[in-house]
A = this chain, B = another copy of it.
Amino acid sequence: MSTTRLVVIGGDAAGMSAAAKVRREDPQREIVVLERSPHTSYSACGMPYLIAGMVESAGLLIARTPEKFREKYNIDARIQHEVTELDLNGQRVRVSHLESGKEVWEPYDQLLIATGAEAFLPQLSGSESDGIFGLSTLASGLRVQQFMDKEQPRRAVVVGGGYIGLEMAEALIRRGLQVSLVERGEQVMGTLDPDMGAMVSDALREIGVTLYLQESLVGYESAHGRVTGVVTDQRTLPAELVIVGLGTRPNTALAATAGITLGEKGSIRVNPRMQTSAPGVWAAGDCAESFHLVSRRSFHVALGTVANKQGTVAGINLAGGYATFPGVVGTAVSKICKYEVARTGLMEREIRDLGLLYNTATIESKTRAGYYPGAGSITVKLLAEQGSDRLLGGQIVGLEGAAKRIDVLATAITAGMTVQQVTDLDLSYAPPFSPVWDPVQTAARQLLAVNR
């Protein structure tokens, strides 16, 4: 086992979880990690808080540096090393050292592709101008921070009302900018049903974000190479800073060019052990496909939780063990202005797309006993299949203490529970934490009444 050489492309969550797991199982294995950016094992999710000034320094977002991996784990983690070609027959990768420009071929016995995902920046008129940023790597976050420190922009436009877009809109308001947000959909937070998303839209307006809903990005205006405005299908919004939050795309050009099979949204198709179509080649993290346990279909999601799990599974298998990644149920959470916002399972549109019939119930309750200081409002929406009564999805928007309740629903959905079974759950209650019926159970009770 220890005579094989493992090469990992990508040094963030998935790649480093896998590398560390292999090292724990096999102290002798040669492990080389090739990372294009200057950072390993960082929290990309922390960037909005760094930019908002809530986190003091970028160093705090880095869990482990390349030095630490080298010293503590004996992992040869090389930053600023970009893999530019993958030779499956020759079992080797071509690596470009970004500082020196030197290129070499590195041989491997096992290869893990953990190249992540990249912010999607559509090619439009003016899109090459300075001041337009996507956010994916830590390096991209630092570029935004440096731009803001140097250029002191006053007006920002955020394009796209997903998690990153909304977190960034709030961060920029905190930094004192005028912020507009352009979203194609009926409401922001398109991973919620519009009735729930509307609450989030209102919360953004409350802190001063100007929303332009059902409006699409067309291009940019610029002067002297710098962005000066965002052009939508309805108006031009002046801006010195533009954040494009239109989702991410898996970084899979390398794999595709080598002939490795792709799947959902261009992610690398893997089996539950995280093996790709190419012998000896594995994939994990934002570049790899997942499986959705509710729709029972292939699914792609770029989230740190999934990347860590897939990386761990790949690591166990690469070390000669046996592990599988069963899949996801579509759980996500975010803090947007005053609200905690969470979702799991399927939303209405996704259920309709599967051709299933469903009932929904939405309730308002409190995060604590009504008489206990600090009790805040919480809205819970549940969706269940007609007939079977199986819980299909849940959405929560509420004040402090609301969001983490989504994990109960994620667990119940994973277990295939019915709405009745959720009602029966022995959930915790004390006045500082919940009404006597937890809001998720109040919603389940309401849905039971609908289902009859």
Contacts and interface: CB of A to CB of B under 8 A. Distances in A.
A124 interface: no
A365 B178 CA distance: 38
Contact of A430 (B330, B335, B433, B437): B335
Contact of A331 (B55, B405, B423, B427): B427
B425 A404 contact: no
A426 B371 contact: no
Contacts of A417: 411, 415
Contact of A342 (B305, B335, B428): B428
A328 to B, nearest CB: 4
Contact of A428 (B325, B327, B332, B428): B332
B428 A403 contact: yes
B46 A369 contact: yes
Contact of A373 (B54, B293, B370, B431): B54
Given A369-B43, A426-B410, A433 B55 contact: no
A436 B13 contact: yes
Interface string A416-452: 0100010111111111111011100000000000000
A215 B295 CA distance: 57
A303 interface: yes
Nearest to A373: B54
B424 A407 contact: no
Contact of A436 (B43, B331, B414, B431): B43
A371 B403 contact: no
B414 A425 contact: yes
Contact of A434 (B325, B344, B369, B404): B404
B406 A404 contact: no
A341 B54 CA distance: 29
Interface centre among A329, A334, A430 (most CB of B within 10 A): A430
Interface string A334-372: 110000101010000000000000000000000001111
A180 to B, nearest CB: 24
B46 A431 contact: yes
B426 A404 contact: no
A335 B60 CA distance: 31
Contacts of A414: 415, 421, 425-426
Interface in A287-346: 293, 303-306, 308-309, 325-335, 340, 342, 344
Interface in A100-118: none
B415 A427 contact: no
Given A329-B426, A404-B433, 18 more contacts: A13-B436, A43-B369, A46-B369, A55-B372, A60-B370, A61-B371, A305-B426, A305-B427, A305-B437, A330-B426, A333-B430, A333-B433, A408-B411, A410-B426, A410-B428, A411-B412, A411-B417, A411-B427
Interface of A: 13, 43, 45-46, 49, 54-55, 60-61, 163, 293, 303-306, 308-309, 325-335, 340, 342, 344, 369-373, 401, 403-408, 410-412, 414-415, 417, 421, 423-434, 436-438
Nearest 4 CB-CB pairings of A with B: A415-B415, A333-B428, A60-B371, A411-B411
